[in-house]
Amino acid sequence: MSRTVCKQCNRPSIACICEFVFHINNPTHVLVLQHPSEVKQTKGTVNLLSRSLENCQVIVGENFTHNVELNTLLANHRAVLLYPSEKASVLSSSLQEFNGTNLDINKVKKQLPRLLIILDGTWKKAYKMFMLSSNLQALEQVCLPENIASRGQYSIRKVAKNNALSSLEACCYALALLENKLVDKAKGNHAFSQENIDCGIYQNLLNKFIQFNQFQLSFRPSS
């Protein structure tokens, strides 16, 4: 007997994740470059992310240097890549207009809509995607502050380092910082030095992500 599959998330009905989708009209367009090995990864978070964000698209591949869809987006947006390279700037609200050195050279770019690019893959695969794609290397690169990057709740999947963020978490925190929506709930100001923070319009999706984690853990056999 064949299993019933949800037509929305393409997962077996018993493992449907549609209840965790939280629709958000995000001002900053998001592009997820996804490694092919992540497409059918049931523990991955891009399915949930892309269905929740109204302005989000996914391109699957490994070498994006000559990818027509990506290069068209780059030509028509002020793009920034969330990737912890050696030249990455630590993301903060002061960088919300993407005023890095590369973008200041072309003032026309500042009139274009913003684009946040995320690499979805293991650390090793993301590194390979970055190194193969010369157009990605040429972009303004940013990383999350350490105290934000260590807030990961991705408990359902083994990762290369403790508390590593999922693609969904990294995207929500990056958007909140870029759009100046990250708030210290204890003080009511736009800061990220405290543990008690709120990501504005993205907080509900982060809360849904925690529920998604718990749901996935429920399928593990009890010890």
Residue-wise pLDDT tens digits, 100-153: 444 444 445 668 999 999 999 999 999 999 999 999 999 999 999 888 887 766
Output the DSSP codes for the chain.
-PPPB-TTT-SBGGG--GGG---B--SSEEEEEE-GGGTT-TT-SHHHHHHHBSSEEEEE-S--TT-HHHHHHHHTSEEEEE---TTPEEP-GGGTT---HHHHH-GGGGGSPEEEEEEES-HHHHHHHHHH-HHHHTSEEEE--HHHHT----TTS--SSTTPPPHHHHHHHHHHHHTT--EETTTTBS--SSSSEE-GGGHHHHHHHHHHHHHHHTTSPP-
Percent of the chain with pLDDT over 90: 54
Residue 221 vs residue 210, higher pLDDT: 210
pLDDT tens by residue, 157-184 = 555 454 578 899 999 999 999 998 887 6
Taking the whole predicted model, whether its pTM rises above 0.75 is answered as yes
Domain ranges, ordered by start, for the chain: 25-217
Q: Confidence class of residue 92 from pLDDT cuts 50, 70 and 90?
A: confident
